[in-house]
Structure 1
């Protein structure tokens, strides 16, 4: 008997499997950092379609996958909609102050570059 995994189930690392270097890699890309900033600002689950990103749909999918596989975000399906939320409590427990420092620095940079923060 073979078991198949539903394509609707997305794999996420457990808290103790989240590694600093993977989180830092995920946050090192401008598009992924923008996604994380939006999730942190809204403090709620957001659908993928919420994000107006300057990349193709396939590239957007890649960025969300990197964030999910690194443990930065959690994704879940609600009907046909894929929702995203920041794994703030996991990241804060593992790397105290890291997320707040990165978000603060990203906000300051955006302000210098004239973006709306």
Structure 2
């Protein structure tokens, strides 16, 4: 283990160490909320290049890093491609109903 609760290799936090305020802060930004909504759709996992938002790659990278550090997404590399997926089941175990509620309210 590296920094508190973060696995050294992938940089994904151990969710039992993630605080609710960290997750809510990550979800409070509209672009990050849009990314989470995209990843919650059927077939959820996406390659970085398939996350179609009108922002620079560096900005997308920044938002994905915040989502990863909050424990919301997982990165996976396959060859030269990087894929991102929502940690729905793990989040549900840590904060029951949170993602469903936030995404439901977003759709209104």
Q: Report the TM range for the smaller structure's normalisation.
A: 0.7 to 0.9
Larger radius of gyration: 1
1:4 aligned residue: none
Deviation of 1:44 after TM superposition, in Å, equals: 3.1
How do 1:1-117 and structure 2 match up within 5 A? 9-108=9-108
Q: Give me the whole-angstrom Cα distance separating, in 1, the residues matched to 2:31 and 2:10.
A: 21
Q: Give me the whole-angstrom Cα distance separating, in 2, the residues matched to 1:45 and 1:98.
A: 20
Aligned residues: CA RMSD = 1.1
Q: How many residues align?
A: 100
Moved over 3 A (4+): none
Q: Give me the whole-angstrom Cα distance separating, in 1, the residues matched to 2:83 and 2:39.
A: 11
- Tell me the SS of whatever aligns to 1:42: coil
Q: 8 Å contact 2:32–2:64 — kept in the other structure?
A: yes
Q: 8 Å contact 2:38–2:44 — kept in the other structure?
A: no
Q: Give me the whole-angstrom Cα distance separating, in 2, the residues matched to 1:54 and 1:46.
A: 16
Deviation of 1:94 after TM superposition, in Å, equals: 1.1
2:3 aligned residue: none
> Structure 2 regions of 5+ residues with no counterpart?
1-8
Q: Give me the whole-angstrom Cα distance separating, in 2, the residues matched to 1:37 and 1:68.
A: 15
